Chain A
């Protein structure tokens, strides 16, 4: 059973993603911003992180750097409503950059793909 950390400041969105991913059979934990996420990653070893970019306290770009400096191998998917953050090269370190959509299919497929590749 893989454990996924969702980092998203919008509470109802976060809970929606959590439910959807639990339905896929994952254990899901939630962080409301980057700071929380960094603290949680220090304590728990997650199999994958789903990371929003625009967040208060600490944005997703900074969070990405901080998480990677603790654990280079942890898979991270950027999941954002905006495509323009691709011009920020730090986002290129993520395993995937997915623009939010209502059905979450792309996200789910990518999670499955990354976790399958990891378990090999």
Chain B
């Protein structure tokens, strides 16, 4: 039996300040980590669930922009521990204690919270992004970090080179020690022998505490962007012990990771969940994904006449939803949604408490919370018409913002 004593000496920060501009209008009133995902979750539930499933118990969520909805979510869903047992999930808004500015970059966010590190005196600090949908056993990551006696360990994954420009590109030696690093280059280096792939940083870091403090306090003295990827890693990788943790190779059970950057990738990642064997398995009892959900009655389908039949096929239907004489195909439906008679919903993502009116037809759409779709309205069939009112992506996904009034 392996004992993970180091977990008690690890402090976890989740950086949850992401604005998610490219997810607009889903991020109109919320930060990226609190964007709903998969019917009942929010994006931040994934790193938080991973942390809890990895037996980490000291977790600080750093928020800043539009943090109300996130704050409320974490306080209701994640208030799991008591201080007496030395566990906590704290939400810390940008306090502007040391500095009157918002966090400039990821390293600045940590620097501005060095008081928390001082109080906890951890040996290791795990830094996560609140923006990613994935499963990871951080025990393995931290175990690797300790085994390598690393100053910094960066979790890394292979991605198609065509998509790699959004990430920090790593070059590693046979031991997985980082020998090269370039943040978001226009022309990412391929993995040797694999021309079409690059090895990229997942923005997940483990530090020896003392090194982390040195890095961020030195970095505080510079005029840069105060970011781990842009400033600190390029500065330290050649002199310090920086290692890459090969996520897919090390965690055979998990191999799914998405930095949901755009509406298109959000849409694809969500609708993948309705496939027969989704890449992201939400049904794994060994690695449950937690969230907060209001108490709702079970989902219901009603009416069974030839022309007026309540059906949902290849879809996720959350509690409290009623498909009443309408039909839902290949879609993800959040709690408290109503699909009324003769309405048809295809390949769409419907957020909580949306009402789809009688005879409405919806295709390729994301409909944010509380929207009332009037009877017989058509969305997703006539691009020119949709563009007059809504955001329509290049690929033709229509996004209707929260509480939109027709």
* A→B interface (CB under 8 Å): 65, 68-69, 72-73, 87-90, 92-93
Contact = CB atoms under 8 A, between A and B. Distances in A.
A52 to B, nearest CB: 19
B interface bracket (residues with beta carbon within 8 Å of A): 10 to 19
B221 A88 contact: no
A97 B117 CA distance: 20
Given A88-B118, A89-B117, A72 B222 contact: yes
18 contacts: A65-B98, A65-B99, A68-B220, A68-B221, A69-B99, A72-B222, A73-B221, A73-B223, A89-B115, A89-B117, A89-B118, A89-B217, A90-B114, A90-B217, A93-B217, A93-B218, A93-B220, A93-B221
A72 B114 CA distance: 18
Nearest to B212: A89
B221 A90 contact: no
Contacts of B217: 89-90, 92-93
Contact of B214 (A65, A72, A90, A92): A92
B277 interface: no
Given A89-B217, A90-B114, A72 B99 contact: no
A92 B213 contact: yes
Given A72-B220, A89-B217, 15 more contacts: A68-B220, A68-B221, A69-B98, A69-B99, A73-B221, A73-B223, A87-B118, A88-B118, A89-B117, A89-B118, A89-B213, A90-B98, A92-B213, A92-B214, A93-B217
A79 to B, nearest CB: 18
Contacts of A93: 217-218, 220-221
Contacts of B118: 87-89
A96 to B, nearest CB: 13
Interface string B118-133: 1000000000000000
B187 interface: no
Contacts, number: 31
A89 B125 CA distance: 14
Contacts of B213: 89, 92
Interface centre among B99, B114, B221, B223 (most CB of A within 10 A): B221
A101 to B, nearest CB: 25
Nearest to A66: B98
B114 A89 contact: yes
A65 B112 CA distance: 10
B82 interface: no
A66 to B, nearest CB: 9
A79 B100 CA distance: 26
A65 B220 CA distance: 10
Contacts of A69: 98-100
Contacts of A73: 221, 223
A87 B218 CA distance: 16
Contact of A72 (B98, B117, B223): B223
A5 B222 CA distance: 21
A87 B117 CA distance: 11
A30 to B, nearest CB: 24
A65 B221 CA distance: 11
Interface string B328-365: 00000000000000000000000000000000000000
A69 B222 CA distance: 11
A87 B221 CA distance: 19
Contacts of A90: 98, 114, 217
A87 to B, nearest CB: 7
B99 to A, nearest CB: 5
A26 to B, nearest CB: 22
A58 B118 CA distance: 20
Interface centre among A72, A87, A90 (most CB of B within 10 A): A90
A47 B136 CA distance: 49
Contacts of B98: 65, 69, 90
A47 to B, nearest CB: 16
Nearest to A73: B221
Contacts of B218: 93
Contacts of B222: 72
B260 to A, nearest CB: 33
